[in-house]
A and B are shown apart, each in its own frame.
Chain A
Amino acid sequence: MTSIIEARGLRKQYRGGKQAVAGVDFSVAPGRIVGLIGRNGAGKTTVIKSLLGLTPYEGSLTVLGRNPMTQRDELMREVSFIADVAVLPKWLKVRHALDYVQGVHPNFNRERAEQFLATTDVKLTHKVRQLSKGMVTQLHLALVLAIKARLLVLDEPTLGLDLLVRRRFYDTLLNDYMDEERTILVTTHQVEEIENLLTDVMFIEQGKIVLDTPVDQIGGRYAQLLVKAEQLEAARALKPFSERSVLGRTVLFYENAQREQLARLGDLGTPTIADLFVANMQKEAA
């Protein structure tokens, strides 16, 4: 199966020597919903900007078989992108936003965008500066949903939005956008919000991919053990990669451990992506 994204030795160093991406390798298969998760400043946005040809990089990178840096305009016929809500210009009228995308994008279905907007409070005569953050997101979503793209890239798309808008955003994406031909790459540091949507997860820390796994393999690979104080030393002897205290008990995280052995020591479970992220970040920091 041909990858949608193929990165080999992807590296980005900013002026002043700061290394934002440290020679990472990863690939994304078609039809997947991949979460690129990391803390602020971990390198998520730099990876995204490299994928979209928005910043020069070193290493080998192809997106839909194209070089993002030299073939960005061709690539964008099949890629949609939503950054955070503030990137639609405030002077733009909603009607003009539709006119513009219709004028420049060969795969834009205006009727679909208008149908979606009709379900919101956004009017065609509004200017972006008259819209709330949530309404701007709806407008951007309307534009993106109406584009027949193979890859949708979302960079912290719901930052600063209230819970209802955030929930509706992801529900709409899943119900109205996603199908087996489409791929979504989403970055966020609000892991718990998207963990039920993802098929794959990548953790990034200090420019390095520290975890890259399908979500359905997490249960087989990782285990979370909740133990009381008297079992703690025995549990530690099984070499957890991270642990933390919760209400007088300790949660330990294991990779490729014997589950039967662990089960004898306490409450065994599968960590959520959010737990796994925190555990990985603690491991990296140690």
Chain B
Amino acid sequence: MNRVFLTLIRREFWENKSLWIAPLAMVGLIVGGATFSRDRSGSGSGLSISPPTAPLAGHTMNAISLPNIAVFLGAVAGLAVFAYLLDCLLAERRDRSILFWKSLPVSDAQTVLSKLVVAMLVVPLGVILLALLTQPVVALITWLRFELLRPYIDFSLFAAWPRALAHLGALWAFTLLWFAPVAVYLMLVSVLAKRAPLVYAVGPPLVLIMGEKLILDSTHVLEFVGERIFPWQSRLVHLLGPDTALASNPAARRIIVEPHWWIPFQDLKLWAGLAVAAGMLYIVVRLRQFRDDT
């Protein structure tokens, strides 16, 4: 990564502090919760959750399962990224700072790409790293504080982390590729909207969904949007395998017992979405380059 691109990425974090504050705050909440939670189990050990119930007996605590905290942090970071993408090309026009940014030797393509890379690569990688650091801390705190749960906290499970990381990496890669058209759509809204980008982002799909239902009495658009926002559970189980909370769902269990990470990547819808994302990205760059918003 060259110096210019690295600087552009740093700039995004100077402006959009929520991108790093939100996941860190979530880590603080998780670690704080594990450290200061009050005892409601009657064991006197300061426990805020009940010990594992019968169906989970014999399983290790989710506290050591890497994907769980990553998913928690990912959800929070996802919200921050959503807000960031909607605002990233509007804010510079709103405060007229686009005149300053464009007075420097940085192309519109570099600027737009840096914003996409922040949203789809840098923040997700940061979340995985944070999850890796947070997980053993939470496990250790849980082990130290809650005597009742110690039998369920099996530190030897850390040995399974490389595999968990591989699954998590596959899940992350699939998720990012799957959501790329959504991310670029939000950037397109950001570069087009003059105000209230959320309304412009949500409005058109909502109108299409309602229009289709009212006129044709069908739900194709709803299904399309729903699938894009919530990929089928089977896809996630393929990626994560049976070691996930998802796999406790009987329907998911029937689908797969071991991860087959390559199956979701063979989905034509994934690659069609990426082609659309590339097309929209080109439009975003051209709009920033040629539209006079100054």
Contacts and interface: CB of A to CB of B under 8 A. Distances in A.
Question: A and B bound?
Answer: yes
Interface of A: 49, 52-56, 69, 72-77, 79-83, 86-93, 96, 99-106
Nearest to B11: A100
B10 interface: yes
Contacts, number: 84
Interface in B3-20: 3-4, 6-8, 10-11, 14-15
Given A87-B97, A89-B97, A101 B10 contact: no
A87 B94 CA distance: 10
B167 to A, nearest CB: 36
B102 interface: yes
Contacts of A86: 96
A75 B102 CA distance: 11
26 contacts: A49-B292, A54-B99, A55-B292, A55-B294, A56-B292, A74-B105, A76-B103, A76-B104, A76-B105, A77-B105, A82-B103, A83-B103, A87-B97, A87-B99, A88-B100, A92-B15, A93-B14, A96-B14, A100-B7, A103-B4, A103-B6, A103-B8, A103-B10, A104-B8, A104-B105, A104-B106
A57 to B, nearest CB: 10
B95 interface: yes
Contacts of A52: 102-103
Contact of A54 (B11, B110, B294): B294
Contact of B97 (A82, A88, A96): A88
A88 B292 CA distance: 18
Contacts of A81: 99, 103
A89 B100 contact: yes
Given A54-B99, A99-B7, A103-B3, A89 B15 contact: yes
B107 interface: yes
A72 B7 contact: no
Interface residues of B, number: 27
A77 B4 CA distance: 13
Q: Interface on chain B toward A: helix, strand, loop, or mixed SS?
A: helix
Given A89-B15, A91-B15, A69 B97 contact: no
B230 interface: no
Q: Interface on chain A toward B: helix, strand, loop, or mixed SS?
A: mixed
A50 to B, nearest CB: 10
Contacts of A87: 96-97, 99-100
A73 B107 contact: yes
Contacts of A101: 104
Contacts of A49: 292, 294
B290 A56 contact: yes
Contacts of B290: 56, 69
Nearest to A93: B14
A72 B289 CA distance: 9
A73 B11 CA distance: 18
Contacts of A55: 292, 294
Contact of B14 (A72, A92, A102): A92
Interface string B259-294: 000000000000000000000000000000110101
Contacts of A53: 102
Interface in B91-132: 92, 95-97, 99-100, 102-108, 110
Contacts of A102: 7
Contact of B104 (A83, A89, A105): A105
Given A87-B96, A102-B7, A103-B10, 4 more contacts: A72-B289, A74-B105, A87-B99, A92-B14
A80 B103 CA distance: 6
A183 B110 CA distance: 28
Most chain A CB within a 10 A radius of its CB, from B102, B103, B106: B103
Contact of A73 (B3, B7, B100, B106): B106
Contacts of B106: 73, 76, 104
Contacts of B11: 96, 100
A89 B14 CA distance: 11
A33 B275 CA distance: 50
A54 B292 CA distance: 6
A79 B289 CA distance: 18
Contacts of A88: 97, 100
Contacts of A76: 102-106
Nearest to B104: A104
A39 to B, nearest CB: 20
A41 to B, nearest CB: 16
A106 B99 CA distance: 19
A84 to B, nearest CB: 9
B7 A104 contact: yes
Contacts of B108: 72-73
A53 B103 CA distance: 10
Contacts of B294: 49, 54-55
Contact of B4 (A56, A90, A99, A104): A104
A75 B290 CA distance: 16
Contacts of B6: 103
